[in-house]
Structure 1
Amino acid sequence: MSSSAQGLIPQLNVENTFGALFIGVTIAAVLFGLSCVQSFVYFQTHRDTGTTFYKLAVICLWILDALHLALIIHCVYYYLVSNYANVNALAEIVWSFKLQIVVEVFIIYGVHILYLQRIWILSRGQSRTLPIIVGIVTILNSGVAIALIWAIYQCQVFSDLVKMEWATFLTLGTITFADVVVASSLCYLLATSRTGFSSTNSLITKLMVYIINTGCLTSICSMVAVITCAIMPTNFIFLAIEFLLAKLYVNSFLALLNARHYTQVTTGTNNCYAFRNRHGVYRPELHIKASEYELQAHADDEAVHPSRSVKPQHSIAVTTEMNSFSSV
């Protein structure tokens, strides 16, 4: 038995080490399914727009997300299945574990660049100071990510990860700071874009809520990983949380892209509910009688004034109502 394995086995608890990794992979698979649904919704709502930059970005993010899931599954399969009862293999870091960190870095900073591009578009006609600051923060974070990758590839066994805690703290801390800067910048630009129309202001408010919620979700995940790594450095709970970080970033960006579709669905549903419950419980038989009464009134009016043409108001109302339902 190697010396690294001898140092690992006396304090090895499978539940909070490789068991935690297994739970992290399971939750990551669920989040990947959610990102697949969000990607499908985006392509369905933009199927008539042709090939665009954001469609290519969604495809690249989905491919990286799928690759990241495949790597972490291989990592857990290597330890729990391929090397079952092989104590020497438990102490070594498999190649897929190192590569999944590289893919995770590409996903996180790719999403930050996409957010930066949206900030640049929203700041059109205003001062460019804000997007420049966000761009500088993103570039500095990329340098920290390179340092993390270098530190991870210097590790050969899991006990070396404890010596590289500074890289984990520095990377996750800068990621959290970048999330706060990006979310604050987007909310500020949206808040300054308010108009005098209540419908536009309502849509902007909902977008701000989406941005704050998704930004808080990724920031909380990063901070939880830092805290668990500081409190429990000898187990793999913080690594299991890091497995979820890339999935949360992909879902947060896709949720922002689909935010307008979700808000339109909510608005259309509320309008339909309000229309049907304007006078209490909706009763179809009363609606039919009211329509017959209107048709009879139009017929009587046409008999009294034969020279005046009757406008198809009822047809227009029905058409408008059907169009509102088809847009949901």
Structure 2
Amino acid sequence: MSSATQDLIPQLYLGNTFGALFIGVVFAAILFGLSNIQAFFYFQTHRDTGMSFPKLTVAWLWILDALHLFLIVHCVYYYLVAHYADMSALTEIVWSFKLQIVIVVIIVYGVHLLYFHRIWIVGTGRSRVLPIAVGVIVTLGSGVAIALIWAIYQCHVFSDLTNIEWATFLALGTITFVDFIIASSLCYLLATSRTGFSSTDSMITKLMAYIINTGCLTSMCSLTVMITCAVMPHNFIFLGVDFLVAGLYVNSFFALLNARHYFQPATETNHFSEVHMRHDIYHPELNVMASQEEELQGSWKNIFKHLGRSAMPHRPIEVTVETNSFSSV
């Protein structure tokens, strides 16, 4: 090793550069493990159904998430193992780093399109102005993503990344804005779908909170990347945080698909759902309750159609009438 190279090595602080990338890979691997659990849970709860669009989307997102993890692991291995202390290699951007940016863009805007599909389904039978507006915003956001990919592939060394900060801020700002639009649109549609039944409205409220929390989580990650990039542009801490974006989006969408099963115990407590007719005794009030419950189930299915599978269990509504309960009739 030449003396000139030895003089350069102490100037490279691995802790906040490639060390930050290594920590980002560790947390990205943890998120990938969580997505494995969520995907397994989804397929287990839907094992009795045939091949469907939600199952294909889960498989597609899982494959992309696995590919993203492979690329960032290769990136860190290339710098910290294969070319450790090789200054000429440590300053250059490896191909896997550029390709993982492409995968992140595909995952993020793919999830945005899937959320738009949910908005379109939930808005069935209503004005199409809101779903169309959301679709236009998501489509325009894809143009910003293409600009980011083009800017990344113009860089050859890490010092060039400081010259494309505009593309990073524009892309992350657009992603955060689209997250806000999607979360607020879903919450608005769900809030206007209240049926007046306490159990159903309670589940809608929980799902709204779920959507807001997952949307805030992905938005906070994007904002963290923007802030760290603006404050510390000469280290790789913002890149380490950026490694988490893909896993957070995949997990947020998987969590939404599994939300029906997370909240299922609440629906099972409805005191109208399981009763048994022991004698052929007709009571008008119970008949009205049964018809209202059927209307509730139909409304609930329409709200969460295509969200994995129907949100309400397919069981007949029965009425329990004890003989001694109507001794005074």
Place the TM-score, normalised by the shorter chain, in its bin. 0.7 to 0.9
2:100 equivalent to 1:90: no
Contact map agreement 1:43 1:55 (CA 8 A) in 2: yes
Task: Report the TM-score, using the length of structure 1 for normalisation.
Answer: 0.79
Alignment of 1:34-45 (within 5 A): 34-45=34-45
Alignment of 1:111-130 (within 5 A): 111-130=111-130
Alignment of 1:208-223 (within 5 A): 208-223=208-223
Question: 1:266 Cα deviation (Å)?
Answer: 6.3
* Aligned position for 1:289: none
Contact map agreement 1:119 1:131 (CA 8 A) in 2: yes
Deviations 1:208-265 (A, max 9, x none): 0110000000000000100000000000000011100000000000000001101114
More helix by share: 1
Question: 1:117 Cα deviation (Å)?
Answer: 0.3
Deviations 1:2-43 (A, max 9, x none): xxx999857521100000000000000000000000001111
Report the aligned-residue RMSD: 2.1
Moved more, 146-155 or 85-94: 85-94
What CA distance in whole angstroms lies between the structure 2 residues aligned with 1:180 and 1:249?
A: 14
Query: Match of 1:136, as an amino acid?
Result: V
Query: Match of 1:263, as an amino acid?
Result: F
What CA distance in whole angstroms lies between the structure 2 residues aligned with 1:11 and 1:21?
A: 18
2:27 equivalent to 1:18: no
Deviations 1:292-312 (A, max 9, x none): xxxxxxxxxxxxxxxxxx99x
* Aligned position for 2:76: 76
Question: 1:88 Cα deviation (Å)?
Answer: 1.3
Contact map agreement 2:116 2:134 (CA 8 A) in 1: yes
Q: Which structure 1 segments of 5+ residues have no match?
A: 272-309, 312-326
CA radius of gyration, larger in: 1
Contact map agreement 2:29 2:69 (CA 8 A) in 1: yes
Question: 1:48 Cα deviation (Å)?
Answer: 1.4
Contact map agreement 2:225 2:239 (CA 8 A) in 1: yes
What CA distance in whole angstroms lies between the structure 2 residues aligned with 1:170 and 1:6?
A: 39
Q: How many residues align?
A: 270
Query: Match of 1:21, as an amino acid?
Result: L
SS at match of 2:253: helix
Alignment of 1:290-301 (within 5 A): none
Q: Which structure 2 segments of 5+ residues have no match?
A: 270-277, 280-314, 316-329
Find runs of 4+ consecutive structure 1 residues off by over 2 angstroms: 5-12, 265-268
Identity of aligned residues (%): 71
Contact map agreement 1:8 1:159 (CA 8 A) in 2: no
What CA distance in whole angstroms lies between the structure 2 residues aligned with 1:33 and 1:229?
A: 27
